[in-house]
Structure 1
Amino acid sequence: MTVYSHKPEGYKCPFCRVVAGKETQNKGTKQTDIVYRNDHVTAFIASKWWPNNKGHVLVVPNTHYENMYELPVDIAGEIHRVAQLTALAMKGTYGCDGISTRQHNEPAGNQDVWHYHLHVYPRYENDHLYKTKGYSTEPDERPFYAEKIRSWLF
């Protein structure tokens, strides 16, 4: 199997830090952003939001896989199982009209963190998700959404 890697030399993976129980730097993901964790995957409120789709979630494998080319099928299945739970939690707590998932591979595919991750977005009528740009949130904006998802899951 050919491995397609684009991570720079000495790359310090922010998602591996989250999975290991460490805080990421600056406005990045905090442990309080985690909404679900098991032996295989971790899900957390993203630190980058879109204006009309606040509180979206990233689901990542606990083991570092850069992209879908090297992701084991059983882990992919677990990621999608947790994405489904997250989607149901969003529907039940955010009152969103729908859900979108996105996953990017390699620079040409818009991947910008070199650890596989699946985005789960709450969607609303005319939310213009694909016409807007994301922005970095403040860490104190995320716990409200994290608690909503956790309360539905548990």
Structure 2
Amino acid sequence: MINHQKGVNLLDMLVALAILTLLTGVAVPGYQSLQEKQRQAAELNRLQAIVQLARTLATLHQQELTLCITQNAQSCSSSRLGADLLLVDQTLKPLRHFPGNTTKIAFPDHDITLQPLPQRSTGATLLPCSGFTQQNAKAVTFSVTGRPRINDDPPSSLVNSCPP
């Protein structure tokens, strides 16, 4: 009686390991790029929604509102880099707190005020510092009418203010 053992020999194992290594080498960078792209898109959408809401509230309340970075959800911070945003009225009373995640947002060097329509607001560009290793930096720019759009070429001053 002949005893045939079933199993994997060393050559089969080495070929499978080589194929797995090759696939992992291709898949991991693609996955990292996809993750960064999704994180960037989510933060851009969040910023657009915040600007739209602030613009609408300024018009509904018929008063100037200011969008700023906050550390404590109660008052504006002097920092130009942070994750949480705060919408305040002219008396600096907080109207809405927009908690962020780990992604920092680079603010311009001036206050962002939103006027009720048809008055003109101060236009600005907000840059989510979502990491630019795999993707180009993109920002949310809103015009003096308060209309937000995605900006594929943000100012270098904002890009340089993001932590590495």
Larger Rg: 2
TM-score, normalising length from structure 1?
0.29
* Higher-strand-fraction structure: 2
Question: Given the two structures, how large is their TM-score scaled by the length of structure 2?
Answer: 0.27
